[in-house]
């Protein structure tokens, strides 16, 4: 199968600004950043090209990922296929002297965009996100600078990541916002506190990253005790010894439901995200070609509504234990909070 997929319940196109994309894209962060030891260059490029052949058209990266290495990876692997893809990247959070830095100043955004264009080997980025709100810079100033990139023909559409409905509305008043990228899954329900409704109302796509709960809702949930140094899950409260056993118990209940419905746990989790609205796009990431194909197969499935509803009751903001980030990181995040700290 090359470039096309059957048209199942989730396969109809979803819109991100001027673009039509399948309901599932590919988040590329874990090919270079944050999840243990990255794959080899050859393995990563193989994954990207296989995704393209399997019908993925929406690829998402950021200046932060690998401190530019992920953009370079996509630039090499996909440069010859630029007209076949919707290419998304992000500014406002980068690596400076080896440290993650949030910087939404207009001059930084302009410089980051030019660097991204060079690394991505393209003249224009289709969707450009403000990766994080810089609390020292009004969002209107950051979005104003990004709007200038649109006027200059360097960017086609704008987005924001990890912001609240209030910030989204402020940004949208400066320049039309095409997409909001927030974490959303069965075990992360923050968008239901405001941004899910706001994006629907404003005609903005909600791009759901980590729809598989950072690997928990797959056939091989991570073992926190074996995670390598540098893996971001090591600092997330949901994975610590106080909370993770209880979360795995809830996962086991969900796995029983998936087995009863004759669908894999990952497929059930993705189908649930896709069911949250016709404006919702799921953005799983993977290093495995087999898992890539499993994820994309959801586009051809019809999971009964009652099964999806039951999944949403088993795992939700009230049943998951632990916040999604530690307190230091939460101070950098503008999204609405929800969930149990303990």
Residues 6+ apart with CB under 8 A from 327: none
CB atoms within 10 A of CB 147: 16
Q: What does the block give as tokens for 122?
A: 């393209």
Q: Is 287 helix (H, G, I), strand (E, B) or coil?
A: coil
Active-site hit among 12, 35, 65, 129? 65
Q: Is 129 helix (H, G, I), strand (E, B) or coil?
A: strand
Q: Which residues on adjacent β-strands are paired with residue 124? A: none
CB 147 within 8 A of CB 130: no
Backbone angles phi, psi at 61, to 5 degrees: -135, -170
Alpha helix (H) ranges present in the chain?
41-53, 69-78, 106-120, 139-151, 165-174, 195-202, 244-260, 265-274, 289-296, 305-314, 327-330
12 labelled catalytic: no
Q: Report DSSP state, residue 81.
A: G
CB atoms within 10 A of CB 8: 14
Rounded-to-integer distance, Cα 150 and Cα 153, Å: 5
> Degrees (nearest 5) of the Cα angle 81, 297, 212?
95
Sign of the torsion formed by the C-alpha atoms of 148, 153, 154 and 156: positive
CB 5 within 8 A of CB 298: no
Question: How far from the centroid of its chain's Cα atoms is residue 230's Cα?
Answer: 19
CB atoms within 10 A of CB 316: 17
Rounded-to-integer distance, Cα 330 and Cα 315, Å: 22
Task: Show which residues are catalytic.
Answer: 65
């Amino acid at each position: 199968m090359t470039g096309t997929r059957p048209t199942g319940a989730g396969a109809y196109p979803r819109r991100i600004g001027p673009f039509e994309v399948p309901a599932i894209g590919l988040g590329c962060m874990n090919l270079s950043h944050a999840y243990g030891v990255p794959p080899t260059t050859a393995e990563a490029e193989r994954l990207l090209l296989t995704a393209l052949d399997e019908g993925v058209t929406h690829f998402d990266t950021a200046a932060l990922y690998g401190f530019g290495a992920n953009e370079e990876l996509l630039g090499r692997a996909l440069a010859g296929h630029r007209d076949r893809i919707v290419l998304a990247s992000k500014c406002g959070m980068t690596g400076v002297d080896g440290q993650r830095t949030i910087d939404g100043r207009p001059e930084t955004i302009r410089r980051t965009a030019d660097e991204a264009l060079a690394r991505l080997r393209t003249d224009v980025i289709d969707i450009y996100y403000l990766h994080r709100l810089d609390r020292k810079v009004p969002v209107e100033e950051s979005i104003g600078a990004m709007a200038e990139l649109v006027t200059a023909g360097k960017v086609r559409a704008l987005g924001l990541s990890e912001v609240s409905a209030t910030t989204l509305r402020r940004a949208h008043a400066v320049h039309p916002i095409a997409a909001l990228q927030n974490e959303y899954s069965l075990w992360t329900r923050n968008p239901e506190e405001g941004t899910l409704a706001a994006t629907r109302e404003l005609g903005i796509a909600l791009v759901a990253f980590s729809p598989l709960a950072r690997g928990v809702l797959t056939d091989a949930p991570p073992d926190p005790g074996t995670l390598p140094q540098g893996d971001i899950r090591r600092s997330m409260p949901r994975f610590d010894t106080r909370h993770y056993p209880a979360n795995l118990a809830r996962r086991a209940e969900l796995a029983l439901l998936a087995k009863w419905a004759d669908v894999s746990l990952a497929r059930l989790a993705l189908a649930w995200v896709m069911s949250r609205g016709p404006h919702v796009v799921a953005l799983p990431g993977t290093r495995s070609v087999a898992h890539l194909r499993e994820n994309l197969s959801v586009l051809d499935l019809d999971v009964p509504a009652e099964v999806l509803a039951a999944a949403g009751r088993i795992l939700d903001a009230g049943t998951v234990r632990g916040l999604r980030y530690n307190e230091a990181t939460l101070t950098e995040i503008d999204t609405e909070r929800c969930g149990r700290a303990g």
